[in-house]
Each structure stands twice: as structure tokens, then as C-alpha cells.
Amino acid sequence: MPSRQDILNAKILVVDDSPDNIELMEEILKEEGYTDVSSTMLPEQVCPLHREHNYDLILLDLQMPGLNGFQVMKGLKEIEQGGYLPVLALTAQPSFKIAALEAGARDFISKPFDLLEVHKRIHNMLEVRLLYKELAQYSRAQQELALHDALTGLPNRRLLEDRIETALQHASRNHHKAAVMYLDLDGFKAINDTYGHAYGDEILKMVSQRLLSNSRKEDTVARLGGDEFIVLLGDIHCLADAQGPAAKLVEALSEPFFINDLTLQLSTSIGISMYPDDAENVTDLISIADYALYEAKRGGKNRFCANGSAARQAAQAVKPQVPAVTPSPAPELAQHR
């Protein structure tokens, strides 16, 4: 529930074509303790101002030359996506009251003002508005939580699958490729077992940061769970465009981790799958990358491997006399052993 101080600090806009009415309303609000009150006599300014300041309350005169209050509310509806107009209509016309409510105003105040009524209605309306904002914020936070890993803050599998789907559509439209790089840390269990889970968690957070800082802004770095991550590369042209970043990540994660007074060392293995060469849907791309990861582990860890048809094509292009075989480990890996 918003506190009294929250309510007094709410952002309020007074809209009236009469300077006297504006002055009177500002005085009433100031005396009550409201701290953030502004005003305009220009109805056409209300929407741009609201877009910029996101008012908690707009005290809106209904009868104004040029744009009237009803037209202003129409414009405000386009800004307030949730459909909640923070409008308290000000009117001297009894017949306008219901029309104002029907047009989207939450409540109305009759002119001439009855001070007690003005204060009560403004207070009540702000209380509901701030509560609505709190709820909207809470619901956004819940959505974020549902799509992100709690430990590292990275996108989780659900969001990742969505991002891959979007990347595939984009790649298909532009005749580009995309790569799924499936990472699994090497020897992570030993860190947990030797130093404890808290150190393991710290490593996972540091790994996330390294993955982010060694990826492009437009790539997605996600945590699938445990010590498994996926880095999605969109808009690339060939397998080599994924092998370079994979080598960079293998390198970055083999650098020591400094936690408190300990220096910990680990490495990572990566499996790569390519769209559309290896598969054309999210599930298959992930499982082909997972299989390539298994090959990288089997080949000695601390390396990347691509063993789908993209890799076979690349190997054939380099050495046409050699039959299409799974390059495991890939030739570029020698430097990471």
C-alpha cells in the first residue's frame, strides 16, 4: 500500500484554460503538502507531457477551447497501454460527469470546488494509481524472474528458446546462418566438492560475466542450469564465424578465477551446431550442439567441436580429397589443448 508520503510525492498535472483556476488548484494542492505539481493551459501539450513525465494524476478541465478534455483523453488512451487513465475530470456541467467517466476518467470533481471533496477524491485516486503502478512493477519483475536464471541473471532456457526461434526467423529472412554453442564447464564438480557450493556459485557468476564480456552485444548468453550455458550467435555466414568466438570463449574460461584468497582454474568444452546446415528447428539445434559437446568432452575437454553437416562441409571444402568425416577435435583446437 502506498504511504502518505508516496501520495504527497506523486506527479500531478493540472490542465485548465483559466489561469485563475490553475492558480487556485495549485494552491489547494500545495497547502495539502503535494510536492510535485505542474500545470498547463494548453490541452494539446497534455499528451506529450504525459509521455515524458508519466503523471500519477492529471486534473483535466473538460471545457477548453481548441481540444476539449474528451479529445485529450482519447490521446491519453493511446499512451496508457494498460488502459488506466490517471484522469480526474474537472467540470461545472453536471451532464458531463457521466460522459467523462465513460470516456475513461477515473473520477470527477465538480466546480465550484468543495475543498473537502477535492482532497478526498485526489487522495483516493492517487492511492489507487500508485497501487496499480506497484502491481504493474511487481508483475514485470515476476515475468523477468520467470525468464531469467536467479543465480547469474542470464536468460534461462525458456527465454533462450524464444531468442533462438527469433534468430532463426531472422537468419532465414536474410539468408544468413546462426550458431548454437553449447558450453559445459570441465571439472566443475571438483570445485564444489573441494571448496564448497558458495565458491561454485561464485565461479558460475564469474563465468557468466566472462561469457558476456567475450560475446557481441547482439548474441544471447543463457544458462541452462548446473554448469551448462548456451551462447547463440545470429547473423553469421559460415561455421568459421562460430569457431572464432568458440575459441575465444575456451580461452577466456581457461584464465584463472580469483575468489577471496584462492586462485581457481577450470576450462570449458563447447559443442556447436549451425542453422540451417545441421538443423532447422530449436530442439534439434540444441541436441546436435549437445552431441558435439559430448564429442569435445570425449576428445579431451578444453576445446570446441562441431560435428554436424556444417563441419563436414567445411572439412570437405578445406581438404576435398578427404571423405566427409566428423572433425573431432576440430583442427583449430590444437592450440587449446
Q: Comparing C-alpha atoms, which of 18, 10, 17, 62 is closest to residue 37? A: 10
CB 337 to ligand GTP: min, Å: 15
Indicate the residue among 186 and 295 with the shorter CB distance to ligand GTP.
186
Indicate the residue among 30 and 197 with the shorter CB distance to ligand GTP.
197
Rounded to whole angstroms, the Cα distance separating 205 from 2 reads 35
Q: Residue-wise over 90-108: b if at least 16 C-beta within 10 A, else e?
A: bbeeeebbebbeebbbbeb
CB 313 to ligand GTP: min, Å: 29
CB 191 to ligand GTP: min, Å: 8
Indicate the residue among 1 and 150 with the shorter CB distance to ligand GTP.
150
In the complex, residue closest to ligand GTP by CB: 200
Half-sphere exposure of 90 (CA within 13 A, CB side): 23
Outline where DSSP puts E strands in the chain: 11-15, 36-40, 57-61, 87-91, 107-110, 177-186, 220-225, 228-236, 257-259, 262-264, 267-275, 304-306
**Positions marked active-site:** 227
CB 154 to ligand GTP: min, Å: 12
What residues are paired with 186 via a beta bridge?
267
Amino acid letter, 248:
K
Residues that bind ligand GTP in the complex, under the rule CB under 6 A? 151, 184-190, 192, 197, 200-201, 204, 226-227, 297
Indicate the residue among 111 and 297 with the shorter CB distance to ligand GTP.
297
User: Between the CA of residue 105 and those of 62, 71, 93, what are the distances in Å?
Assistant: 10, 12, 15
Rounded to whole angstroms, the Cα distance separating 321 from 103 reads 76
CB 190 to ligand GTP: min, Å: 6
8 Å CB contact between 125 and 86: yes
Indicate the residue among 123 and 297 with the shorter CB distance to ligand GTP.
297
Helix-then-strand count for the chain, H and E: 12, 12
Indicate the residue among 190 and 318 with the shorter CB distance to ligand GTP.
190
Residue 290 belongs to what H/E stretch?
Answer: helix 282-298
Q: Residue-wise over 60-75: b if at least 16 C-beta within 10 A, else e?
A: bbbebeebbbbebbeb
CB 198 to ligand GTP: min, Å: 7
